């Protein structure tokens, strides 16, 4: 589901509610134009502004919905007119709020594009991830390049249209929620014959909140150590690229540490450029 599909998830419930508002307007106030009826209620304008924030800012609904609720509460306390309008308009107002929430929820179920790797990586080792949750939608492919594990993951960012800032937002979410570690373990669990079990692993963040110029694109990235009982056994670089329509594409490169070497896996290529640039060219 690209921009058109994401818009549909939002517009369908909004159109249903706005149709109900229009019917209410013509039924109760047949001589009032629908635009005047809409503008007469500040709540309607507030919901419109809320939707604009949700569309433009990644995960804007996390800010817009609570902020809108607080603003409405303050206005209801401070304004007699606002309190007086609620008994008359509670059905239409409640319907608009429900439409926004339903739009956010439905947009998370939209499909994502199939992950694509560089031609040199060959056929993906694994293309299914049965443990992935249905919401938000995601697709994950895994390649094996010698001792290196490459994971390409496309994930839906619910309630978002803009690509601006969505990549950094998803990396922050992965970091703060522990989902990054869960993704790693899901990948490791499905790779047979590596001699390790997923529950042994933990992640230690080395660099986050940074970005690097990969050719024509500047992408945010994170660098993490993979540890077993406090011992570093591998390094992991993850880069993210936001797409218009609410999809974020993630590429994770995992390289084991060579105990016989004095150099860390990404010391000569700290931004995983050798993998990221071919991946970008294949998109």
Q: Considering the entire predicted model, what is its pTM?
A: 0.83
Q: State how far the Cα of 119 lies from the Cα of 113, in Å rounded to an integer.
A: 18
Whether the pLDDT of residue 193 is over 70: the answer is no
Q: State how far the Cα of 135 lies from the Cα of 156, in Å rounded to an integer.
A: 8
Quickly count: other Cβ atoms within 10 Å of residue 66's Cβ: 10
For residue 124, the model assigns a pLDDT of 93
Q: State how far the Cα of 183 lies from the Cα of 154, in Å rounded to an integer.
A: 12
For residue 261, the model assigns a pLDDT of 81
Burial class (CB in 10 A: 0-12, 13-18, 19+), 135: exposed
pLDDT in tens, 139-154: 999 999 888 999 999 9
User: Is CATH 3.40.1000 the classification given to domain 119-282?
Assistant: yes
Domain parsing of the chain, residue ranges: 3-107, 119-282
Residue 1: band (very low, low, confident or very high) from pLDDT cuts 50, 70, 90: very low
* Residue closest to 61 by CA, chosen among 166, 160, 173: 160
pLDDT in tens, 21-42: 777 777 877 888 777 777 777 7
Crossing angle, helix 42-56 and helix 60-78, to 10 degrees? 160
Under a CB-based contact definition with an 8 Å cutoff, are residues 180 and 225 in contact?
no
Task: Report the run of H or E that residue 243 belongs to, with start and end.
Answer: none
19 Cβ neighbours under 8 A, 6+ residues apart: none
């Amino acid at each position: 589901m690209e921009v058109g599909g994401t818009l549909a998830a939002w517009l369908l419930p909004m159109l249903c509610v706005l149709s109900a508002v229009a019917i209410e307007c013509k039924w109760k106030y047949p001589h009032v134009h629908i635009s005047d009826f809409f503008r007469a209620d500040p709540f309607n304008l507030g919901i419109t502004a809320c939707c604009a924030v949700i569309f433009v800012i990644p995960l804007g609904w996390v800010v817009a919905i609570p902020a809108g609720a607080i603003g409405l509460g303050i206005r209801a306390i401070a304004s007699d007119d606002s309190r007086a309008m609620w008994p008359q308009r509670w059905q239409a107002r409640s319907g608009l709020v429900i439409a926004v929430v339903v739009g956010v929820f439905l947009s998370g179920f939209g499909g994502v594009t199939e992950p694509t790797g560089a031609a040199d990586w060959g056929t993906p080792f694994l293309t299914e991830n049965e443990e992935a949750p249905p919401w938000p939608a995601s697709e994950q492919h895994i390649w094996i390049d010698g001792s290196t594990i490459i994971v390409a993951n496309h994930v839906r960012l619910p309630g978002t249209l803009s690509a601006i800032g969505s990549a950094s937002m998803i990396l922050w979410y992965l970091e703060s929620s522990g989902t990054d570690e869960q993704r790693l373990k899901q990948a490791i669990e499905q790779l047979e014959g590596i001699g390790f079990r997923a529950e042994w692993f933990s992640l230690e963040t080395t660099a986050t909140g940074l970005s690097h110029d990969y050719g024509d694109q500047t992408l945010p990235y994170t660098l993490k150590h993979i540890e077993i009982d406090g011992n570093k056994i591998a390094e992991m670089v993850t880069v993210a690229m936001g797409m218009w329509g609410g999809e974020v594409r993630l590429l994770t490169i995992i390289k084991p540490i060579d105990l016989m070497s004095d150099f860390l896996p990404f010391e000569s290529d700290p931004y995983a450029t050798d993998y990221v640039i071919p991946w970008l060219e294949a998109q």
